Structure 1
Amino acid sequence: MTAIRTLSAALAAFLAAGAARAQTAIEDLEIIGAPEQGNMGFQPAATELARDVHWLDGMLLVIITAIVLFVMGLIGYVIVRYNSKANKEPATFTHNSPLEIAWTVVPIVILVFIGAFSLPVLFKQQEIPEADLTIKVTGYQWYWGYEYVDEAVAFDSFMIGYGEGNLNDGIIEQLEEAGYSEDEFLLATDTSVIVPVGATVVMQVTGADVIHSWTVPAFGVKQDAVPGRLAELWFAAEREGIYFGQCSELCGKDHAYMPITVKVVSQEVYDDWLAGAKEEFPA
């Protein structure tokens, strides 16, 4: 009996030490995916999906800019060349077959060109690969619930300071205890999704009451959480760090107060965290 108690105590100490190491490593992570005051553009891409979206957006911007400049130049030319002063006698024709064919065919060619590049990006997002880690996420008014499907771990995630009004000393203290600063107010949550770097993570997304939307910009993912339906998205984060997201579907009065926090860690840190999470957050 004494030997069993000693073994149990040693095992508990080992798990506690692993959890402490994991917690320290998690708290030391760099914040990568977060909005920045006064900046424009995308957050740094942390997945292949996000890089594809950024590239596609840049290509479309070039095409749209060329079209806008062409149309504006054409309008300017027509204003100067065919105004009433420069063109006393207006033309009487009503049709120009070559021109009509051109302005029908050219847009079709442009759209086919765009589709040839955008559809593969869409298919890559929608074709769910085999998962290394599956997490079910449920949207509630107004917080997120997570369940690590194969690991018997489940927890709810609330915004730090939710329901306590504007930023104050108490909220700042809570943020600092969780390893954040006041700059992360409205972004940081009390519990975070922890995933290993490089792992293929499949999120099963649903809603418990109204439609929500699980979104992490740096991962290039967004999926509506519809009550009664189970949708899926996937990502494979390429860099350790902290990434923030937000519910992106208007879901009620506190829609703005249900952020998402994902922390990407090494496989070793994830394994230590998971061992502790099974004790702290049993499903």
Structure 2
Amino acid sequence: MAEDRSTRGELGAFLKARRAELTPAAVGLADDGTLRRVPGLRREEVARLASISVDYYSRIEQGRLQVSATVLGALARALRLDAGQQAYLYELAGKPIARRIRRGPQRVRPSIHRLLDQLDRSPAMVLGRYNDILAWNAAATALYLDFAQLSLQERNYTRLLFLDPGIRNLHVEWEAAARLSAATLRLETAGNPDDARLTALVGELSVRSPEFRQWWGGRVVSSASHGTKHFRHPLAGPLTLECDTWTSPDDPDKRLVVLTAEPGSPSDEALRILTSWSAEDTSTESTQ
């Protein structure tokens, strides 16, 4: 019972955070001109958009009742939630999206390791639960750092973004990358609120990073699968790379992330030089 109340409280906090981001104009409502004590939509405006009573919506935000799938759908539409946010909302409510069972340490098949190695010009890695880095290729090492030198606890993409100065400086648009990584991590908490590994990671980041602590409190979630990343590499210089992510069909907790450059572009040439340097270093080490 206590867990149900805790989850309902998180659902209410998530709804409150989302309505704070919206304006009446953004959802097609006329601004009545009165002074708003807090930013965003009022509870009565959300209730009107979702066709439910203000009292009913207030009790949802206060965590005082369970919510039906029908009402969840109405709230998702009213608050303009994207696919990732809707998934998170339904997870919190314990509705259609089933909670996944954790089955111990994740493994990467040998065939996936071979695939990574064959992507010799494209930095690529496999991310698992909590954005842990499970596998990577030489190009990813050349771009980021040597993940093999890190402990298992340190080998986490979100942790590196927030706590490693080198990785932070590598990203030209660090704030956007860090916010997105925190938002994908937030998705994990809906189905696994009491997971010890996740709790420890969030706790460490909240203590050591004021930015993470602030953004985590905003309860933003995301399941973005593609985008453009801009890097400033200390050896290769500026790089503009397209990032694409594929979720494993047999394990939704694993994602393949691949970075590519436009053929013939300055970034493509810089990436070619960077990966060739990395290959030469590896060859030199192997002969010593």
Q: What is the TM-score of this pair, normalised by structure 1?
A: 0.26
Larger % of strand: which?
1
Q: What is the TM-score of this pair, normalised by structure 2?
A: 0.26
Higher relative contact order by CA 8 Å / sep ≥ 6: 1 or 2?
A: 1
Structure with the greater alpha carbon radius of gyration: 1
